[in-house]
């Protein structure tokens, strides 16, 4: 099974598994969103690992890590009450930003066949956070923007025919490119 099919299958399975408890109320929405977010992150990190795509795994980790830094930095810089008043870490939505970072990574690395289902699941995560009364709609939108930006800025499309390798020595450095026809 190629990476696109593997990623798409895993994302759709996560969506189906996560959607069932969503009808139970705020707790169900919260649980479903967490399951879907976790599944997206596992797929974004796992699909390249299964394929032996070291660069893809590093890029996925970088996208998700950068998203976490920005998201949690903003939570500290702009404390805002959650709608349920549980704490002042509403802005931006961490679940949503992580889900969209994973989805954007899958989309950018493996194409729309893996990206479209991942984006749909990420959108579900954003909706689930609002329905669970954990975030305002604008928290979810900001989280989505942060995750998308990180995923698309850090992740590159996989192309087995082109290799770009940086090199350096004590006097100079550069980039070598090898193309297979």
Taking 70 as the threshold, does the pLDDT of residue 22 lie above it?
no
Distance of alpha carbon 110 from the chain centroid: 13
User: Is residue 14's pLDDT more than 80?
Assistant: no
Beta bridge partners of 5: none
Q: Which two tokens stand for residue 181?
A: 């026809």
Segment 50-79, tens digit of pLDDT: 888 888 999 999 999 999 999 999 999 999
Share of the chain above pLDDT 90, in %: 57
Distances (CA, A) of 156 to 34, 39, 49, 117, 153: 27, 21, 16, 19, 8
Q: What is the pLDDT of residue 160?
A: 53
Higher pLDDT, 162 or 155: 155
CA distance 100 to 149: 9
Q: 0.75 exceeded by the pTM?
A: yes
């Amino acid at each position: 099974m190629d990476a696109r099919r593997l990623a798409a299958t895993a994302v759709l399975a996560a969506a189906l598994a996560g959607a069932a408890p969503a009808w139970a109320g705020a707790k169900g929405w919260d649980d479903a969103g967490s399951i879907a977010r976790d599944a997206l992150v596992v797929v974004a990190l796992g699909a390249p690992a299964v394929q032996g795509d070291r660069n893809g795994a590093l890029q996925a980790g970088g996208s998700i890590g950068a998203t976490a830094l920005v998201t949690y930095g903003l939570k500290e810089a702009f404390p805002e009450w959650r709608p349920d008043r549980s704490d002042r870490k509403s802005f931006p939505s961490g679940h949503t930003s992580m889900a969209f970072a994973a989805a954007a990574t899958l989309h950018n690395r493996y194409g729309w066949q893996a990206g479209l289902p991942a984006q749909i699941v990420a959108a579900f995560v954003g909706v689930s956070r609002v329905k669970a009364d954990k975030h305002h709609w604008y928290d979810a939108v900001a989280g989505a923007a942060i995750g998308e930006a990180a995923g698309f800025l850090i992740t590159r499309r996989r192309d087995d025919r082109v290799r770009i390798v940086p090199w350096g020595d004590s006097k100079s450095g550069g980039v070598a490119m090898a193309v297979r026809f």
